[in-house]
Amino acid sequence: MADYADEPKLLGVDMADCLTEASRDLGALYWAPPDPVEHYGRFLGWVKQALAASRSRNPGHFPWY
């Protein structure tokens, strides 16, 4: 999270890239595709809450988000 303190929306973008890559890799390894709901929760479901928690600890740091 510290790497994204100045650009918190990039965390979501990077995690979405990781989600795409993991889904592609798991699809190639297994017959059944990965569960999309589980993958969303693992890669992106926590990002909004983490950014909100960071914003509450640092009021005024993310005035545009």
Give residue limits of the domains in the chain: 2-57
What CA–CA distance (Å, rounded) separates 48 from 1? 12
Give the pLDDT confidence score for residue 1 in this predicted structure. 61
**Burial of residue 34 (number of CB atoms within 10 Å: 0-12, 13-18, 19+):** middle
Which is more confident, 5 or 63?
Answer: 5
Per residue in 3-45, pLDDT (tens digit) is 777 777 788 899 999 999 998 998 899 988 888 899 898 888 8
What CA–CA distance (Å, rounded) separates 47 from 1? 10
Give the pLDDT confidence score for residue 65 in this predicted structure. 47
pLDDT at 64 over 70: no
